[in-house]
A and B are shown apart, each in its own frame.
Chain A
Amino acid sequence: MTNASRTDVTPILHVDHLDKEVDSGERRLTILSDLRLTVFPGESVAILGQSGAGKSTLLGLLAGLDAPTRGELALFGQSLAALDEDGRARLRAGRVGFVFQNFQLLPTLTALENVLLPLELSPQPDAEQRAREWLTRVGLGERLDHLPKQLSGGEQQRVALARAFVTGAELVFADEPTGNLDPATGERIIEALFDLNHQAGTTLVLVTHDHALARRCDRCLHLEGGRLVERMPEEVSA
């Protein structure tokens, strides 16, 4: 149970009494139980938890990729329960960015084309120019025409970062962004992520099991036994 009281500002994310259950053979498994969360614009929030705690499930719900079993969930002030799948997709377009653990670049597209992908669904003037600029910002201005297989892991994740921010997203979800990278590269990616986030003024929701990374965020939430518990960043031990 967590909250920050800013009554004058609409939360970018608001979750209340949220449950998620799934069928597993003959049993019903409770993944998340009575979850509450409010995130305001501009905040950076880390969600910590061990493997299997339900972090990815929570992320999917927060992003509107999945529907809860019970409870309320509002994104950008709009209740997701009132929307069907297509409605939730429309809500995401151009406003939500993603950074995945496995980069999730399309192998047949160049770096530039991968960054342009979200702009196909939320077109903006000078889309290609924007994409080039973002790739330059992440240090890949010379690698626009390279395919993912020609890029290192760190470089691929930097492309993914550019892709996440190119639409001017208000909210960025990062799912274990350094999970597949060595520590040194991971550190560079995190620096880039927070740097871009700060420049763009986006809200960041970060799912990780890395406590050091979590401490860099404004808020730290622990997913334990299907529930969220907020702790101060400095209380998060290494």
Chain B
Amino acid sequence: MSQPTRMAKGSRMLRLSARGLIRDLRAADVRALFMALALAVAASTMIGFFLDRLDRGLTRQAGQLLGGDLVLEQSRPFDTELRRTLEEAGLTLSDQVDMVSMVRHDQAFQPASLKIVDSVYPHYGQNRVDLGEGVEPLAHGPSPGEVWLAPRLALLLEVAVGDSVQVGQMELEVGGLIEREADQSAGFGSFNPRLMMHIDDMDATDLVQEGSRVEYELLAAGPAEAVARVAPLVERLRRDGVEVQDVSRDRPQLGSALERAEKYLSLAGLAAVLLAGVAVAMATRRYVDRHLDTAALMRCFGATQAELTRLFSLQLLWLALAASAVGAVLGLVGQAALLRLLSTFLSLELPPPGLLPLLMGVFTALAVLVGFAGPTLLRLKKVSALKVLRRELDPLPASAWLVLAMASLVFGGLLWLYSGDLWLSVGLLVGGLVMLGVLWGLGSLLLGGVLRLASALPRRGGQEGGLAQALRLGGQQLARRRSASLGQLLAFSVTFFAMAMIVMVRGDLVSTWQEQLPEDTPNYFAINIQPAEREAFAEVLEGAADARSALYPMVRGRITAINDQDPREAVPAESRSDHALRRELNLTWQDSLPEGNRVVAGKWFDELENEAGWYSEVQAEASVERVPISMEDGLAERFGLALGDTLTFTIGSAEVVGELTSLRSLNWDSFRPNFYVIFPPGVLERFGHSYITAFHLEDGESETQRRLVQEFPGVSLLNVDAILGQVRDVLTQVTRAVELVLGFVLLAGVSVLYAALTASRPVRAHESGLLRVFGASNRLLARVQGAEFAILGLASGLMGALLAELAAAAIYVVWLDLVPRVHWGMWLTLPLGGALLIGAIGQLLSRGLRRQAPAASLSLLGEA
């Protein structure tokens, strides 16, 4: 064939396929295909646009978000020698100090997250601050003598610009309210509202004492070559226990949360894609059945198999492209909604949506078509021309196993593409197929039960047999259409299960956990209690607090060697980024075993005295090569440590080597101060330290709180209830975002219902026609259909509730170590809600069928 002929043929095929699709648009199965593909694209592009914008925004502003190109952090000031080296390398330096402290105004006081900055701050970007005349961008921090507050802190203290607040020993003027900081350092994840002040005022506040919990940051900015020049020094600092963040290697604090969000949000979106795929598979069966006669006729007129394949493939390609356009628009709207829901955490300027997520969305639509519809579409290719004379000559349906295999392969590919994790994808796919098998079995049992129950209902007399008759006939219809009903049952059960989990996580988890805590569980933590204040503090608490823990001394130290090896090399691979290695630990010393701790291996310090005798040597502060230490058993397990292993701690500029002589188990939920590592007395006292304690105050004890804050201005009081409330708020916001994604999953479930309806339309029409011939009124037919969908919804709700209850029990027992409880409310709402929702939607979608019942009965007459 010559080139022009081929081109003419090609363009004729394009026109023919487009015309065919336009004519076909009124068909219910084509509408179902369109809806399913559009939803698949909407779900994937919504998350794709959202994450892509976030990713590009963070990368673009990485330096700004970090606060510099290189950020060093430790719990003591940085020395002059280091500063000189960095400056000589060509870097500009800025100092910052972070700590938590109480802020007071008149009778009101709040813990605040202090950010103490110098005059160089910020290296990059601008703060957005309201100095009293509206929010404006400022490329500097507060001046000496003034503070900037987060609006929430100002509200809690009931102050405005121009008022004064007490920070430690100093009174400072509120110079402005911070709407957005130039960087995000220490901002994300901190539950205390921000107070920003100048570093020149720090000494006057007298907040920084020996042993106070303070983080010093040195932010360096400069060209990449300058950062590269100091790389060896930085590596040495890292080994010495300094925390380092390098903009070229590390992502800002939001980054690790973002990576996890990328993975799991994408997977949630893929749930919608999966359901859409199921809908595509169902609708395609009907599409193919409808076109068998057309295909046979075209074969009669001379079309080859290849031409037939091309024609129908092109039609569906047009459909997929049109659906992608609609889906992308929905995705854009969805990502805007997501951003709005998460705006509290994402105070960044984001670039506009990019092209890549759109292309991924189109690719997803095509992949779904190929994977879920491909094998079924091939039937059209196999149609014989003889079918025009012998109507019963239909090509065999595609093997169900082939359809499942193809769909699994394509979906597995999509899982990998979106999650970027091969083994997670394989695990999810295999696990999903196993779950599918289990749920299929469970669903079959449930449908069998529905059939038995429905058949047991009495045959009521006459047309107005009412509810019993409708339930009987509807239940029987649902149970007899097994495959289609099972597909819908699974789709809706899984959706309801996911939604129930969201509600439980949001509302139930935190409050159930709180409810199971003993009544006098501590609800306040006090930190930064200086040694000199210890006794006086304990005295105030004595009369007022219901229950209190001991006052524990605390020293900050970092693990810098394990068995004389680099800690990252000494621990198993999966523990290399454990937070206990990345940050300084709170080390304490105790002579007796703390409350709530239990020795599970080795011996406590006082038992060692009798054996080795060197415990008393330690008390005498003699220098020993290794001191006995006790470690929490979970940490020891994560690090692969056993009794006899040694750990080197760097505290300040000194090193202390400890040998594991006991392992302890403890209850992290006790709300008492708990420690990973405990030293015996006589080792750490020489280092600067402060005390921590926890206690329970009744609601009416505000006088005690006020007294504590006034008499001990350096001590920070953290209200656990307030923190838990904020945790709940964060969970609420995040779960709302996930709910938005689940909304798409639910819509995809509805598309499965719609597709199932279109696929079963001829059968339903046949049944309705026959029932009408035998004397069923339209009202009865409507009731029967309504009953069928309501029972489907009820059964889906039941299965969803069962799955949610099992998952919740597993979470309670395995993860939270709580006694599981039955959620009676869920067992009521899910089935009833499901019955109402699916019943209503099903009734709406099958309206056309009821209108056609008279014609359907007439079509039974004569040749079918």
* Interface size of B in residues (CB-CB distance below 8 Å): 33
How far is the CB of B459 from the nearest CB of chain A, in Å?
Answer: 4
Contact B864 A86 (CB under 8 A): no
Write out the residue numbers on chain A whose beta carbons fall within 8 Å of the beta carbon of B857.
65
Write out the residue numbers on chain B whose beta carbons fall within 8 Å of the beta carbon of A132.
none
Separation of A65 and B456 alpha carbons in the complex (Å): 31
**Which residue numbers of A lie inside 8 Å of B, CB to CB?**
55-56, 59-60, 63, 65-66, 85-86, 89-94, 96, 98, 100-102, 104, 106-109, 117-123, 127, 175-176, 179
Contact A104 B770 (CB under 8 A): yes
Separation of A182 and B411 alpha carbons in the complex (Å): 50
Count CB-based A-B contacts (< 8 Å): 95
Other-chain contact of A59, B462, B861, B863 (Cβ < 8 Å) = B861
Q: Provided the pairs A92-B774, A93-B775 are in contact, do residues A123 and B461 lie with their beta carbons within 8 angstroms?
A: yes
Other-chain contact of A92, B461, B775, B854, B861 (Cβ < 8 Å) = B775
How far is the CB of B823 from the nearest CB of chain A, in Å?
Answer: 37
Shortest 6 CB-CB contacts between residues of A and residues of B = A93-B775, A123-B459, A86-B777, A56-B862, A56-B861, A118-B774
Contact B860 A121 (CB under 8 A): no
Contact A120 B863 (CB under 8 A): no
Separation of A35 and B54 alpha carbons in the complex (Å): 77
Contact A63 B774 (CB under 8 A): no
Write out the residue numbers on chain B whose beta carbons fall within 8 Å of the beta carbon of A101.
861-864
B776 at interface by CB-CB < 8 Å: yes
Q: Provided the pairs A65-B857, A102-B864, A108-B481 are in contact, do residues A89 and B473 lie with their beta carbons within 8 angstroms?
A: no
Write out the residue numbers on chain A whose beta carbons fall within 8 Å of the beta carbon of B9.
none
Write out the residue numbers on chain A whose beta carbons fall within 8 Å of the beta carbon of B460.
123
Separation of A59 and B858 alpha carbons in the complex (Å): 9
Write 14 A-B pairs (CB below 8 A) sorted by A numbering: A65-B857, A90-B775, A101-B861, A101-B863, A102-B863, A102-B864, A107-B763, A108-B480, A117-B774, A120-B459, A121-B463, A121-B771, A121-B780, A122-B775
Contact A85 B778 (CB under 8 A): yes
B376 at interface by CB-CB < 8 Å: no
B767 at interface by CB-CB < 8 Å: yes
Write out the residue numbers on chain A whose beta carbons fall within 8 Å of the beta carbon of B770.
104, 106, 117
B350 at interface by CB-CB < 8 Å: no
**Which residue numbers of B lie inside 8 Å of A, CB to CB?**
459-463, 465, 469, 472-473, 480-481, 763, 766-767, 770-780, 854, 857-858, 860-864
Q: Provided the pairs A106-B767, A117-B771, A123-B461 are in contact, do residues A86 and B860 lie with their beta carbons within 8 angstroms?
A: no
Other-chain contact of A106, B462, B766, B779 (Cβ < 8 Å) = B766
How far is the CB of A171 from the nearest CB of chain B, in Å?
Answer: 12
Other-chain contact of A120, B469, B860, B864 (Cβ < 8 Å) = B469
Contact A89 B481 (CB under 8 A): no
Write out the residue numbers on chain A whose beta carbons fall within 8 Å of the beta carbon of B767.
106
Q: Provided the pairs A92-B773, A120-B473 are in contact, do residues A109 and B778 lie with their beta carbons within 8 angstroms?
A: no
In this complex, which of B461, B465, B473, B773 has the most chain A Cβ atoms within 10 angstroms of its Cβ? B773
Contact A119 B861 (CB under 8 A): no
Write out the residue numbers on chain B whose beta carbons fall within 8 Å of the beta carbon of A60.
858, 861
- Specify the chain A residue showing the minimal Cβ separation from B463: A90
- Specify the chain B residue showing the minimal Cβ separation from A52: B862
In this complex, which of B463, B770, B778, B861 has the most chain A Cβ atoms within 10 angstroms of its Cβ? B861
Write out the residue numbers on chain A whose beta carbons fall within 8 Å of the beta carbon of B863.
101-102, 179
How far is the CB of A194 from the nearest CB of chain B, in Å?
Answer: 21
Q: Provided the pairs A102-B864, A106-B766 are in contact, do residues A86 and B779 lie with their beta carbons within 8 angstroms?
A: yes
Write out the residue numbers on chain B whose beta carbons fall within 8 Å of the beta carbon of A63.
773
Other-chain contact of B775, A55, A89, A175 (Cβ < 8 Å) = A89
Contact B469 A65 (CB under 8 A): no
How far is the CB of A221 from the nearest CB of chain B, in Å?
Answer: 17
How far is the CB of B646 from the nearest CB of chain A, in Å?
Answer: 74
Separation of A90 and B463 alpha carbons in the complex (Å): 7
Q: Given A102-B864, A117-B771, A123-B460, list of 5 further CB < 8 A pairs?
A: A59-B861, A60-B861, A92-B773, A107-B763, A108-B480
Write out the residue numbers on chain A whose beta carbons fall within 8 Å of the beta carbon of B858.
60, 65-66
Contact B766 A89 (CB under 8 A): no
Contact A89 B463 (CB under 8 A): yes
Write out the residue numbers on chain A whose beta carbons fall within 8 Å of the beta carbon of B777.
85-86, 89-90
Contact B860 A93 (CB under 8 A): no
Other-chain contact of B773, A65, A102, A120 (Cβ < 8 Å) = A65
